[in-house]
Amino acid sequence: MAELIRPIITFNTGTGSDTAASGAGPAMALSGTGASLNATTTVDLSADTPDLSGVATDGSAAIWVDASSGRQWGRITAVDNGLDTVTVHAAFTVTEGSRNWGIGGKRDAIDATSNLRIASPDGESGWQCELDDDQTISVVIDVDVNIRYMSSTFGTRRTITQSSASTACFSADTADLWLRDIKLQNSNGTPGNGVNSIGETVTIENCEIGDATNSLNNGLSRSSGTATWYIIASVIHDCDNDGINSQNGVNCYGSAIINNGAFGCEISSGSTFVDSVIQGNASGGIRRSAGAPALRIWNCTIDDNGGPNIDGVSGALQPFVVGNTQITHAGTYGWDGGTGTTSWPSLFAPLINNNWHGNTSGNTDSAGILDHIGDNDTEDDPGYSAGDADITPTQTDGGYPQAGDLFTTHVVRSYQDIGAIDVQGGSGGLIPIRRSLGLLQR
């Protein structure tokens, strides 16, 4: 089966054009003012006599036409350089002439009305928008097709600043959204969320959500639905309220959720946190609502949250696994099991290879959990103070206390220290190894 190729629309606020380019096609844009449409998949460009010989027809090029209504974007599937026509994947909806058009080059503003149509409704699943530089927007980008927004330079984040009050940067209510190498923030004194979602999958990879000055309300917010969220090698920080507020679960890998004004992550369904840091959140670290399914925490550092580091909430007696994790310096309990939750059978509470230290009210408020602290758990000073940016542990003797792995099919790494950071010996001494890749740009 042939690989599906979709356009990558490139944006540049310095050199791009929203009236004479499409952002996907030849580097030097083709453009004109004489496009004719006849409510079919054919665009007649003969009035401008362009040379279409360099336009790809494999699905990577797109044409933009300033149609007065309906569709403005099309993925190019064929060209006729003799007749000066372009064929696209779906029909335009109007019959009219003398319209501005563009193929290739770069677009300008991602929130221009014509460019909002890429995500809803003109684009297709798999289209991408790549940013050459930072963007300021004033409206929400509403996603109705599965789409990706990312930096055009891998590993270099581009900032999207929302300037309007109580307005999210993105809304993914009816389709999936993937952000890579993007920072979201809001410059208005009454900020909205970074991303709103109702039931769709959101993936953020090497992203920064939030800012100490241009803060967001919630970093990521979902009000309903069951689709999975993936947080990969990213940082969510300094939001006015929760870093993540989800009426379902999240899967968080190698990320940092730090210094948010309420909870780091407030969830109501099964969630997984691996190789991640949850630190300095004012109300608590991870808060799991009553009745929520399984919670899995592995090789994390949960430190210095204003309330409990892990908050079970009243009646939330559901299976959970916490292993190889630093649970330190909580404002109240390391684990708050919730009112009335005093008996935790081992099926529900396997605690393996954790270190509990400096939690103000104690390691846990639930007597039943204490029965399971001792499964190779310790209560030693980890070697960092509450809220330290450097959370490298001092226990470095080949795995601390004894590196373990809950899943027997996985290979145990030889230097697997408790928490989100390993310390490995070498010719230059002890070297902190950050599993949490998002911290590289913290």
State what percent of residues in the chain have pLDDT above 90: 64
CA distance 66 to 350: 60
Residue 107 DSSP label: B
Structural domain span for residue 33: 8-103
pLDDT surpassing 60 at residue 371: no
Q: For residue 98, what is the enclosing H or E element?
A: strand 95-103
Q: Is residue 275 part of a domain?
A: yes
* Span 89-137, pLDDT tens digits: 999 999 999 999 999 999 999 999 999 999 999 999 999 999 999 999 9
Do 87 and 139 belong to one domain? no
Rounded Cα distance between 234 and 178, Å, is 13
Domain end among 355, 370, 385: 370
In a domain, 442, yes or no: no
DSSP of 141-175: EE--S-EEEEESSTT--EEEEE-STT--SEEESSS
Residue that terminates a domain, selected from 336, 370, 404: 370
Q: Residue 54 domain-assigned?
A: yes
Q: Is residue 379 part of a domain?
A: no
Q: Which residues contact 426 (CB under 8 A, 6 or more apart)?
A: none
Q: Indicate the number of domains in the chain.
A: 2
Edge-to-edge strands, sheet with 301-303? 135-137, 158-162, 182-186, 208-209, 235-237, 256-258, 277-279, 301-303, 326-328, 355-357
In this structure, the answer to whether residues 84 and 134 fall within a common structural domain is no
Looking at the structure, do residues 62 and 159 belong to the same domain, yes or no?
no
Question: How far apart are alpha carbons 73 and 102 in whole angstroms?
Answer: 10
My answer on whether 186 and 278 are in the same domain is: yes
* Position 351 in a domain: yes
Read off the pLDDT of residues 222-244 as tens digits, 9 standing for 90 and up.
887 777 899 999 999 999 999 99
**333: its two tokens:** 């309990």
Confidence at residue 416, expressed as pLDDT on a 0 to 100 scale: 64
Mark whether 238 and 146 lie in a shared domain.
yes
Listed residue (433, 421, 424) closest to 279, CA to CA: 421
d(CA 423, CA 392): 7
Among residues 322, 384, 330, which one has the least CA distance to residue 361? Answer: 330
> Looking at the DSSP assignment, which residues form a beta bridge with residue 163?
none
Measured in whole angstroms, the distance separating CA 377 from the mean position of its chain's CA atoms is 32
Alpha helices in 151-308 (DSSP H): none
Question: Given this model, what pLDDT does residue 224 score?
Answer: 77
* pTM tops 0.95, yes or no: no
Region 307-332: what's the mean pLDDT?
Answer: 80
Residue 147 lies in a domain: yes
Last residue of a domain, one of 354, 370, 386: 370
| Alpha carbon 127 to its chain's center | 18
Q: Are residues 245 and 300 in the same domain?
A: yes
226 plus 366 within the same structural domain: yes
Average pLDDT in the chain:
85
Residue 402 domain-assigned?
no
* In a shared domain, residues 99 and 131: no
Average pLDDT rounded to a whole number, residues 52-74: 97
Q: What is the CATH number of the domain that holds 163?
A: 2.160.20.10
Any domain includes 392: no
Q: Do 178 and 55 reside in the same domain of the chain?
A: no
CA distances 74 to 18, 19, 25, 67, 185, Å, are 15, 15, 12, 12, 31
Tell me: do 180 and 268 sit in the same domain.
yes
Considering the domain architecture, whether residues 319 and 288 belong to the same structural domain is answered as yes
What is the mean pLDDT of the segment spanning 46-68? Answer: 97
86 lies in the same domain as 170: no
CA distances from 72 to 62, 63, 93, 94, 218 (A): 10, 8, 9, 10, 33
